[in-house]
């Protein structure tokens, strides 16, 4: 069991609301966060407390020192926002549209709280690492569902508080589907499945919370008036009987700000070149460690055994022990087999990281924009990187990152998929949405960016002349690969 000081009781105030006990937690970003006692029981488990040790923004904290917040506080915030929007939906509810039950509300709040349970070390980094190196089928949302099952099965306190509020296995399955954003057969319940993970419009409490929190921690501005936006949320019924969440049409610019904010955060923070370089380096160190049996120890029939880190996602007992601590565990290891991995981590800590030698948008003129990530990466690796490695005869090692940045999870204008209503309570026609192309960095709403990094090895950084010569060569090979007229000089001057 986790120490009492680790649990949220240490800084809480309890209050009675709507006949149920809520726990109030002071949050530096949101203010007062309110957590229902069902959710509180889940929070006080080792499966959930593990999120305290998983960075929300991965290696972003290596570039932005204050971006050291974790999945723990984000998950509490999403749960709180789910409660807020449910309260607003109930307040704005028209007669005969739907009935929002207490059980509905609790299912949404459970899903909101547990949607990120399945993240591995350094959050999205782990998912990308596993998919690229070991298991292409890994999805953190599915792991979240497995861990939610584990919490319910292994903790009697959780089952008891579920029972107290008329919740059981059926409601647990509903919460799991909400985590995935899988719409129900009952169309009148659709709106509930849009709150945590909205696969249609991209407007959900997960996105709103991380934009607010991440912006604050990165020292950026958040352009979304979240309280105002949520206050206009309203359940409407479409002609086919499907329910969905609509917003006042005067919130259009607010919602546009959300999508633009998301893209801007990716361009300036999440996909910062130094963060990407460190990800590449740690990925190499982790692969080397995995190949040398680095993992999590466990007992079987009284004997201590070791589960390799690339196998832990298939074994929940070991997976819940995987946190960001693996970085320092490798670094502090005395094993001779981890010498190479330790050397890479030492380079990261000494800021001897890979050097960015090319950053270029893959534009629609290149006829490659319709290709997915894997195809683009294959082209870059088999053509561009191969030519560079041949050119320098193995003297330097080149690595690539292809980053896809969109405004709202779809290449189409995200505002198209949102329903609005006016002051007369009339549903606004979808053709009246604001054309976000005017505001977007890319008229296709999607940016595909190619990053090329060079590992010069050793401890001494090469001269500026050497780096500039390599940048020039990279640009020439990039233009050749993507069949575009070279403009090397402009690139070199812009990256000095």
DSSP string, 192-229: GGGSS--TTT---HHHHHHHHHHHHHHT------HHHH
Residues 339 and 358 in one domain: no
Residues 434 and 401 in one domain: no
- pLDDT over 50 at 308, yes or no: yes
pLDDT at site 462: 82
Residues 204 and 292 in one domain: no
- Of 164-173, 455-464, 484-493, where does mean pLDDT reach its minimum? 484-493
Residues 36 and 152 in one domain: yes
Residues 232 and 265 in one domain: yes
- pLDDT over 70 at 496, yes or no: no
The number of residues in the chain equals: 496
Whether residue 118 contacts residue 44, with contact meaning beta carbons closer than 8 Å, is answered with: no
Tokens encoding 451: 């990053």
pLDDT at site 480: 86
The string of pLDDT tens digits covering residues 243-302 is 999 999 999 989 988 998 999 999 999 999 999 999 999 999 999 999 998 999 999 999
pLDDT at site 431: 56
Tell me the catalytic residues.
140
Segment 179-183 mean pLDDT: 93
CATH number of residue 75's parent domain: 1.10.3210.10
C-alpha 213, offset from chain centre: 13
**pTM for this model (two decimals):** 0.90
Residues 374 and 289 in one domain: no
pLDDT at site 410: 55
Q: Residue 464 belongs to what domain range? A: 354-407+445-495
Confidence bin at 136 (pLDDT 50/70/90): confident
Residues 107 and 226 in one domain: yes
Residues 138 and 110 in one domain: yes
Confidence bin at 454 (pLDDT 50/70/90): very high
- Of 284-298, 364-378, 407-421, 464-478, where does mean pLDDT reach its minimum? 364-378
Residues 120 and 264 in one domain: yes
Total count of domains within the chain: 3
Residues 424 and 479 in one domain: no
- Of 64-78, 204-218, 402-416, where does mean pLDDT reach its minimum? 402-416
Cβ partners under 8 Å of residue 400, min gap 6: 377, 380, 381, 384, 385, 450, 451, 452, 453
Domain closes at, from 303, 329, 349: 349
Residues 72 and 195 in one domain: yes
pLDDT at site 95: 85
pLDDT at site 406: 81
Q: Which residues pair with 206 in a beta bridge?
A: none
Residues 283 and 339 in one domain: yes
163-166 own/partner pairs: CB under 8 Å, 24+ apart: 165/20, 165/38, 165/102, 165/103, 165/106, 166/102, 166/103
């Amino acid at each position: 069991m986790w120490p009492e000081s680790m649990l949220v009781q240490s800084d809480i105030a309890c209050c009675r609301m709507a006949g149920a006990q809520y726990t109030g937690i002071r949050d530096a970003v949101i203010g007062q966060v309110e957590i229902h006692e069902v959710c509180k029981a889940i929070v006080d488990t080792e499966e959930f407390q593990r999120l305290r040790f998983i960075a929300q923004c991965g290696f972003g904290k290596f570039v932005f020192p204050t971006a050291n917040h974790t999945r723990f506080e984000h998950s509490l915030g999403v749960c709180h926002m789910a409660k807020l929007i449910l309260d607003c939906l109930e307040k704005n509810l028209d007669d005969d549209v739907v009935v929002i039950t207490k059980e509905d509300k609790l299912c949404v709040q459970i899903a909101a709280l547990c949607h990120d349970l399945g993240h591995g070390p350094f959050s999205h980094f782990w998912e990308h690492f596993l998919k690229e190196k070991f298991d292409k089928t890994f999805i953190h949302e599915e792991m979240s569902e497995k861990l939610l099952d584990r919490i319910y099965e292994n903790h009697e306190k959780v089952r008891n508080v579920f029972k107290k509020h008329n919740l059981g296995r059926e409601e647990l399955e509903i919460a799991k589907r909400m985590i995935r954003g899988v719409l129900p057969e009952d169309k009148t319940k659709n709106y509930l499945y849009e709150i945590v993970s909205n696969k249609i419009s991209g407007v959900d409490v997960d996105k709103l919370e991380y934009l607010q929190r991440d912006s604050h921690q990165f020292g950026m501005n958040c352009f979304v008036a979240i309280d105002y936006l949520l206050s206009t949320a309203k359940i409407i019924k479409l002609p086919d009987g499907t329910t969905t969440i609509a917003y006042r049409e005067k919130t259009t610019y607010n919602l546009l700000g959300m999508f633009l904010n998301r893209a801007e955060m990716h361009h300036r923070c999440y996909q910062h070149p130094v963060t990407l370089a460190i990800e590449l380096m740690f990925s190499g160190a982790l692969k080397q460690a995995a190949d040398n049996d680095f993992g999590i120890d466990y007992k079987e029939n009284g004997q201590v055994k070791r589960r390799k880190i690339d196998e832990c996602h298939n074994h929940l007992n070991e997976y819940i022990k995987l946190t960001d601590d693996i970085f320092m565990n490798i670094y502090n290891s005395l094993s001779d087999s981890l010498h190479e991995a330790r050397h890479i981590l030492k380079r990261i800590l000494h800021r001897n990281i890979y050097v960015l030698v090319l950053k270029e948008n893959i534009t629609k003129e290149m006829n490659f924009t319709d290709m997915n990530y894997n195809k683009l990466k294959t082209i870059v690796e088999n053509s561009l990187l191969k030519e560079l490695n041949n050119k320098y005869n193995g003297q330097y090692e080149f690595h690539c990152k292809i980053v896809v940045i969109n405004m709202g999870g779809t290449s189409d204008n995200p505002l198209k998929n949102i329903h609005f209503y006016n002051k007369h309570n009339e549903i606004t026609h979808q053709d009246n949405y604001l054309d976000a192309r005017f505001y977007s960095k890319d008229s296709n709403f999607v940016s595909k960016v190619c990053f090329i990094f060079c590992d010069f090895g050793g401890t001494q950084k090469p001269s500026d002349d050497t780096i500039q010569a390599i940048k020039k060569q990279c640009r020439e090979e990039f233009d050749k690969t993507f069949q575009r007229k070279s403009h090397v000089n402009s690139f070199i001057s812009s990256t000095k």
